[in-house]
Each structure stands twice: as C-alpha cells, then as structure tokens.
C-alpha cells in the first residue's frame, strides 16, 4: 500500500492496512486461522515519509502457519503550497546599486512564503545580475523556488527594479554676470559664461549630468550693449532635469573719450583766455553720439580773479556725460591816465570820446573828484568852476583784462588861438622800413602855433606802450617794456593814440594807427 503523506505519519492508513493484514486472507480446513505481523516501525525516507515491509503470518489452531509479505509506503509527491507569492519591488536609486534593498528583498524571497504538509521548505532563487537601464539603475526578474525535503517544489516570480526619478541636485545656482561693453558683443566673456553654466554646478547620485542652455541672442539695450536671461538645465542619464536661471548683461558705463589733447583746468591771466576748443569724441560701444554745448558760464567778478566754466554734454545712447573745462583767470588790471583841457563855453563833452576807439561803452562813468554831476557819460562844463575834474570808467570785457580809465578834465577859460582843429594832421600809418615814407608817427599842421604835443599810445589791451609830454614826431614803433614783440619793435597791428595839444584850447585827439613793423 502506498499512500500520500499526510504529515502525521499516516497512522490511520497504516493501522487500517495492518488490521486488514495488508489485504491478505487465509483459510484452514481443520481450524480457525489467527493473523500476526512483524511490523515494528517505518524507515524514514524524506520528511514525514517512510516505508516498512511487513510479513503477515496466518496460524491455525494446530500451529501450522502460512505467510504473505507486503510493503507499506508513505510517499510525498505534493509540491509545497505557495501561501503568498513574491511581489515586485521598485526602489529609488541610491547610486550604489541599492544592495541593501536588493539583498533584503532576495532574503525575504521577494515577500513570498510557502508551506508543506510533510517537510520543511528550502528557498532558492535564480538572481544573477541587474540589467542596466540608465545611470546606476536596472531591473531583474527573479524566480523564487520553494523545495520540500522530498524534492517537490513550487515557484513564484517577481521583478526588482531600481529607478531614478530624482532630478540632479543644483549644488551652486548660476550667477548673473554684468560686463563692461567692449564694442564687439563681449563674445569671449559671454561664451565663457555659457560654457561654465553661469558658474552653476550640479550632482546626481545615480548618473552623470549633461548641461544645456536656451541662450539664443542678446536683447539690445543701447549701443552695443544688451541682456539675456538664460536657463541652464542639468539632465541626468535617466532624463531627470534641474534648472537654474541667470542673466548676462553688457552695460556701458564708460564715457566717450576725447580725441586729442584736452586740458580740464587752465590757469591764465585775463589777457590770454584760450578760444573754445572744437572737441571730437569717440566711444567704444556707440557710433551715434549727440554732443550738446559747449556752454560757458562765469563764476566770480570779472574785475577780479574769476573762473570761466565750459561744459560739453555727450550722450552715447546709454548715458549722458559732462566734460568740464575750468579756466582760472587771474586779474591783471591796469589803470590808464587820460587828461584834457576843456573850455568852459564849448558844448558838453561825451566822456567816451576821450577814450580809445575800441573801448566797450556799456559801463558807467563815476565822478571821482570835483563838484559836478554827469548825465550818463555827458559832462556839462558850462556850469562848472574852473579847475580839475576826475572821472573814472571801468572797462570789463570777458577775454580782456579789466582796464580803469581815469580821465582828468581841466575846465579852463579858453582864448581863441590862430590854429584850429581842422589844421591838425595826424599819421594813420607807420611803416619804419627805411624807405623814408611814413617812417614816424607825426602830428603836423600846427608848427606855427607853438603848441606842446603830449602823446600817449596804447595797445589793444589798453596797456600804455609809449608816452611823451613834449613829442617831437620821432616815434617809429620801437618797443617799450609794456609791449610784446621783436627785440626792438612792437608787433604789427592796430594801436591807439591820445594827443593833447597843450594850451591849444582844443579837446584831445584820439584814434587808431596801424603800425607795420614787418
């Protein structure tokens, strides 16, 4: 009799088989038959199985016997029961192969469990390696086998998967970069910035990182400047991404430069103020510049030390810049003494007529000495006492040194003399070149009148360059310490004379004279 193991030794089956003498039967003609058997125990084979060969003996009442043998066998041909099957396990990549997760899953048979009625169960699996997918990820389908002690087995399969759904870690974000315009798009700096991801760095536990960016072009701001907002993207081998954003800016904070020499501060005396320069500007980033000015302002009183402020405003399309030239003017004022006799009974005198012809006449005369008043620049001597009257006039013109004219008018009781104003002939040109013509400055036509000629000559700045109170028609343009020119001659140019014919009763003569020393 072979029975399937029931895990308890199949005692019911065994006892019933023994009780039935293994199914044997015997008869005897003379007496009853009594059965015995020699069963003692089962010999173990696997698990709770085993077998026993039993001899059944039939004995009659007279002791005669007959035997029959048979084997009782408990066998196990039933596979273990899979109480729970293995389940798939997906874990997030840790960069080291997730060995702890894998080993724990394998050790737990993928979560499967099995039982067997007749014996213990031993587990095995067929795991060999993970099939790579991306980075340090992968998967393996594993068959877990539960085997009982008799070699019967049951299986359950599941898949272990390492996946990577984690974006790269942005260790350092991209940083904005602002550079000064170089006029050609700052391509080297831009390319370096793009190549280094704007300074960003990223790491990923499971794979290498590849960088990309979305830069296309700069948006123009002004000149050759511009800006671009760039997204830098770090992508791992499994397609997970992280990004960082930064801005690249080309700015222009550099003022246009002046081509050629430019003196921002100049110290000069009042007679040497330079002309306004014609400035030319250039700019590395812009060819379209607008120049406003120059404007010119005066700070201080031009009768003293003062400043001339010149300003140019240049707009290069990005910013406006102002260039300033400050001219510190040192006062070198001079005083010109003038005098004339005036008959009491002649027409009122316009004091400006006593000054050189190019004197500015926008100023105001004041009475410095003498009991009289002025009507503007008109002196009415008809009501004045005989004597000296001193009048002062200050000429202040930008670009020239201030000159104070002190005019002394002596009011006299005039006597009619044989020579009149129409008789006086005064030189207009002096050319001391040795040709005997116009060699000297002459006052003629009054030789028979006995007048004393008082002569003063001034340059265009109002500086007195010659004076003689008994002039003898002998000045030929020779230089004095008050003029600038060759070693012995004044420079060629226009000069101004004042002639007083002493005791003539005539008002002073004033006018220009051209001197050609070259």
- Indicate the pLDDT class of residue 262, thresholds 50, 70 and 90: very high
The per-residue pLDDT for 418 is 62
- Indicate the pLDDT class of residue 237, thresholds 50, 70 and 90: very high
The per-residue pLDDT for 366 is 94
- pTM, rounded to two decimals: 0.57
Enumerate residues 6+ apart whose C-beta is below 8 A from 242: 167, 168, 169, 170, 202, 233, 234
Which residue carries 């015997």 as its tokens?
26
DSSP string computed for 429-461 = EE--SSSSSS-SB-EES-TTTTPEEEEEEE-TT
Q: How far apart are CA 86 and CA 105, in angstroms?
A: 10
Q: How far apart are CA 156 and CA 111, in angstroms?
A: 10
Among residues 390, 355, 352, the alpha carbon closest in space to that of 371 is found at 390
| Mean pLDDT of the region 273-281 | 91
pLDDT digits (tens, 9 = 90+) for 383-400: 888 999 999 998 877 767
CB 373, CB 441: distance < 8 Å:
no
Of 121-125, 216-220, 334-338, 464-468, the range with the lowest mean pLDDT is 334-338
DSSP string computed for 19-61 = HTGGG-----SSS-EEEEE----PEE-STT-EEEEEEEEEEET
pLDDT digits (tens, 9 = 90+) for 2-27: 999 999 889 999 999 999 999 999 99
The per-residue pLDDT for 435 is 84
CB 453, CB 487: distance < 8 Å:
no
The per-residue pLDDT for 415 is 57
CB 305, CB 239: distance < 8 Å:
no
pLDDT digits (tens, 9 = 90+) for 473-514: 999 988 765 444 445 788 889 999 999 998 787 899 999 999
């Amino acid at each position: 009799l072979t029975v399937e193991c029931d895990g308890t030794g199949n005692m019911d089956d065994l006892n019933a088989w023994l009780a039935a003498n293994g199914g044997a039967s015997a008869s005897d003609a003379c007496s009853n038959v009594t059965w015995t058997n020699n069963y003692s125990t089962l010999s173990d084979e696997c698990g709770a199985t085993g077998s026993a060969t039993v001899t059944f003996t039939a004995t009659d009442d007279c002791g005669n016997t007959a035997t029959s043998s048979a084997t009782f066998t408990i066998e196990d041909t039933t596979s273990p029961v899979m109480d729970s099957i293995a389940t798939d396990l997906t874990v997030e990549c840790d960069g080291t192969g997730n060995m702890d997760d894998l080993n724990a899953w394998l050790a737990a048979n993928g979560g499967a469990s099995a039982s067997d009625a007749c014996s213990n169960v031993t587990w095995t699996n067929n795991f060999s390696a993970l099939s790579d997918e991306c980075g340090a990820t992968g998967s393996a389908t594993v068959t877990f086998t539960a085997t009982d002690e008799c070699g019967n087995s049951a299986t359950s399969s599941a898949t272990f998967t390492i996946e990577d759904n984690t974006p790269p870690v942005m260790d350092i974000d991209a940083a904005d970069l602002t550079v000064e315009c170089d006029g050609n798009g700052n391509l080297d700096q831009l390319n370096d910035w793009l190549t280094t991801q704007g300074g960003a760095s990223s790491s990923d536990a499971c794979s290498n990182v590849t960088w990309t960016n979305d830069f296309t072009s700069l948006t123009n701001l002004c000149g050759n400047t511009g800006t671009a907002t760039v997204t830098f993207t770090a992508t791992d081998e499994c397609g997970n991404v992280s990004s960082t954003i930064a801005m690249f800016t080309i700015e222009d904070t550099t003022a246009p430069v002046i081509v050629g020499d430019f003196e921002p501060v100049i110290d000069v005396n009042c007679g040497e103020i330079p002309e306004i320069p014609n400035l030319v500007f250039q700019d590395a980033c812009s060819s379209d510049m607008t120049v406003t000015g120059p404007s010119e302002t005066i700070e201080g009183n031009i009768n003293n030390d003062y400043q001339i402020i010149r300003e140019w405003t240049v707009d290069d399309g990005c910013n406006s810049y102002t260039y300033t030239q400050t001219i510190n003017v040192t006062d070198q004022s001079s005083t010109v003494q003038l005098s004339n006799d005036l008959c009491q009974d002649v027409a009122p005198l316009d004091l400006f007529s006593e000054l050189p012809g190019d004197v500015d006449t926008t100023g105001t005369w004041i009475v410095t000495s003498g009991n009289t008043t002025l009507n503007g620049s008109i002196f009415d001597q008809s009501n004045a006492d005989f004597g000296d009257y001193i009048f002062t006039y200050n000429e202040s013109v930008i670009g020239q040194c201030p000159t104070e004219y002190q005019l002394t008018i002596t009011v006299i009781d005039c006597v009619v003399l044989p020579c009149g104003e129409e008789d006086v002939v005064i030189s207009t040109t002096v050319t001391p070149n040795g040709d005997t013509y116009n060699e000297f400055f002459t006052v003629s036509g009054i030789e028979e009148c006995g007048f004393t000629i008082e002569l003063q000559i001034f340059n265009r700045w109002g500086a007195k360059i010659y004076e003689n109170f008994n002039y003898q028609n002998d000045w030929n343009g020779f230089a004095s310490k008050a003029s600038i020119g060759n070693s012995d001659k004044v420079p060629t140019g226009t000069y101004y004379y004042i002639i007083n014919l002493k005791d003539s009763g005539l008002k002073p003569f004033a006018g220009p004279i051209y001197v050609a020393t070259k």
